[in-house]
Structure 1
Amino acid sequence: MLIQFSVTNFLSFRDETVLSLSTNKDNSHSENLLSYKNERILPSVAIYGANAAGKSNLHKALTAAIIMIRNSNNLQVNQPLMVTPFLLDSKSQFDKTKFDFIYTYNDVKYEYGFVLDSNNVWEEYLYEYKRSKPSLIFERSEINKPELFMKR
């Protein structure tokens, strides 16, 4: 069950943008909520707003992240990645994009994310929350450093 999705530096989102399915402390309609330990989670969301407010780009960000995860084993070296950074300022267009998911699976909470640009995946991580503090399952950084591929 998805609890939260966040994206940074993708299409119209320069700064971190968070889609949270966690609820506030309001008890109205609590019978319609999902629960994970002490958290109450929305079973679905509707995203609405003014034209050009980023609704479609949030959907594109979620879709791009899921496609990256599903197809990562089919990618070839030097194949461009489907990520477009925020292009409306001179700094962000060269910055990396970040996707982050917080979800539950088999009643365990996880956080998975990765950082990439249009050519490389630079970081990837997975944390498990069996207690209140996260436990590291794996973390990779500087994945594309040339020294890692050179024989010594």
Structure 2
Amino acid sequence: MMFDDIPEKAVEIIHEGKKMKPGATLVRISSDISRPSAKEVSNNFVWLRAICTEFPRKVPSAYLLTDCMLHLDRILRGKLIVPAAAESKVVAAAREAKRLKKLMGTLRTLYRNRILSAIWSVGSSLYMTFCMHIHKGKSSADDKLHLLKGLLKPAADTDRGL
């Protein structure tokens, strides 16, 4: 799921044998307590795009995201998640999954509240616009948020039977 969204250059670096530093953070947010900002959501675009594609209507559990991170680590021959000396790979993957869940929650809130509706539009040209910016090297935080929002759908409403 996430492997396809990792930039080719990053995969090359990992396959060349360059491991992450022990205890390195893959998903970067400023605080594990406060809600991440829209900028932090766009900064972690690589991780969130795959999750938004697979789970457009809800925020997946941290357990599922932990399993995804561990599976991705196995695909990359154990070079993606390098735990600190005192922790296991599972604990390190769970730490990253917790941050991903927090970012997805923020993204869902932004989508629900339409906070950035003035700059977002939903349409088929959404992905193409983003790709053009990427290829020109002009990808901005707004473009990334714009694309992520386009991947989301309203949550299922159990009261209405939807």
User: TM-score with structure 2 length normalisation?
Assistant: 0.27
Q: Larger C-alpha radius of gyration, 1 or 2?
A: 1
User: TM-score with structure 1 length normalisation?
Assistant: 0.28
Give the number of the structure with larger relative contact order, counting CA–CA contacts within 8 Å between residues 6 or more apart. Answer: 2
